[in-house]
């Protein structure tokens, strides 16, 4: 009997788990870059607001903030105070632990629960998109296009950092396999030590791969 193939929703769920973990383990430089991109998108949205929309947004933010403060338990208030005094290292550790708990919850989901969660996420996203004004939609697209152009330009750099999170931000227009750091040429050059092209009849002995380092190890464990 042929093995059942995993549904596309399961693959999407695994990819999102990996993305969450990768985000929790990102370096301070990557986190700063991500926040900068978010700020640029937010600025584009804000600049397209009308005065009445801005006033309405401020009013809603104030109401939400007041409701959150009023509903906080004493322990939640203490937690908020602790968050405000966290160092960057403590924040990163907390996010990592949250990602581990989230990954464990995702791993325990049934296929029906996973599908239900993905449908709810899609509905929320559709609601957000539907509430956008034409100006906000255009501003979002312009910012996304600008970020895409920047990623394509940065990919030409002779630095391995251009591959950071490339799997999660895949661009079909980028020629990944022909990047100068990836292409090593044909195996037609003889080694000056052992004259090997491939393995020289077993004379070349390569060490076994060791345990992967973080964050790769964690991604392997929880995908």
Is residue 187, in this structure, part of any structural domain at all? Answer: no
Q: Percent of the chain at pLDDT above 70?
A: 77
Is residue 194, in this structure, part of any structural domain at all? Answer: no
Query: Is the pLDDT reported for residue 114 higher than 80?
Result: yes
Is residue 182, in this structure, part of any structural domain at all? Answer: no
Q: Which of 71-80, 181-190, 192-201 has the highest average model confidence (pLDDT)?
A: 71-80
d(CA 155, CA 180): 10
Among 50-59, 93-102, 158-167, 204-213, whose mean pLDDT is lowest? Answer: 204-213
Is residue 162, in this structure, part of any structural domain at all? Answer: yes
Is residue 180, in this structure, part of any structural domain at all? Answer: no
Of 6, 23, 13, the residue nearest 218 (C-alpha): 23
- Domain span holding position 131: 8-175
Is residue 204, in this structure, part of any structural domain at all? Answer: no
Please tell me the predicted confidence (pLDDT) of residue 31: 66
Please tell me the predicted confidence (pLDDT) of residue 36: 74
Is residue 116, in this structure, part of any structural domain at all? Answer: yes
Is residue 207, in this structure, part of any structural domain at all? Answer: no
Greater confidence, 123 or 24? 123
126-143 per-position pLDDT tens digit: 888 888 888 888 888 888
Number of folded domains in the chain? 1
How big is the CA angle at 199 (ends 196 and 205), to the nearest 5 degrees? 110
Please tell me the predicted confidence (pLDDT) of residue 86: 86
Helical axes 88-107 vs 8-24, angle rounded to 10°? 160
**Mean pLDDT for the chain?**
76
Please tell me the predicted confidence (pLDDT) of residue 17: 54
d(CA 72, CA 65): 11
Please tell me the predicted confidence (pLDDT) of residue 28: 61
Query: Is the pLDDT reported for residue 124 higher than 80?
Result: yes
Average pLDDT of the segment spanning 205-212 = 74
88-112 per-position pLDDT tens digit: 888 888 888 888 888 888 888 888 8
Average pLDDT of the segment spanning 175-192 = 76
Please tell me the predicted confidence (pLDDT) of residue 201: 59
Please tell me the predicted confidence (pLDDT) of residue 12: 47
What is the sign, positive or negative, of the torsion defined by CA atoms of 29, 84, 121, 129? Answer: negative
Give Cα 60 to chain centroid, integer Å. 29
Query: Is the pLDDT reported for residue 155 higher than 70?
Result: yes
């Amino acid at each position: 009997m042929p093995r059942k193939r995993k549904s596309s929703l399961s693959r999407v769920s695994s990819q999102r788990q990996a993305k969450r973990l990768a985000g929790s383990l990102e370096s301070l430089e990557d986190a700063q870059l991500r926040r900068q991109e978010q700020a640029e998108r937010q600025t584009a949205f804000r600049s397209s607001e009308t005065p009445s929309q801005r006033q309405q947004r401020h009013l809603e933010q104030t109401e939400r903030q007041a409701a959150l403060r009023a509903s906080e338990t004493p322990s939640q208030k203490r937690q908020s105070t602790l968050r405000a005094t966290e160092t960057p290292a403590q924040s990163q550790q907390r996010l990592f632990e949250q990602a581990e708990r989230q990954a464990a919850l995702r791993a325990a989901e049934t296929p029906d629960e996973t599908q239900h969660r993905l449908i709810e996420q899609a509905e929320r996203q559709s609601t957000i998109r539907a509430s956008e004004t034409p100006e906000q939609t255009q501003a979002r697209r312009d910012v996304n296009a600008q970020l895409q152009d920047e990623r394509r330009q940065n990919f030409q750099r002779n630095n391995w950092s251009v591959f950071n999170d490339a799997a999660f931000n895949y661009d079909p227009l980028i020629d990944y396999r022909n990047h100068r750091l990836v292409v090593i040429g044909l195996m037609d050059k003889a080694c000056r030590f052992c004259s090997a092209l491939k393995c020289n009849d077993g004379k070349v002995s390569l060490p076994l791969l060791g345990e992967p380092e973080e964050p790769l190890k964690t991604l392997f464990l929880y995908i």
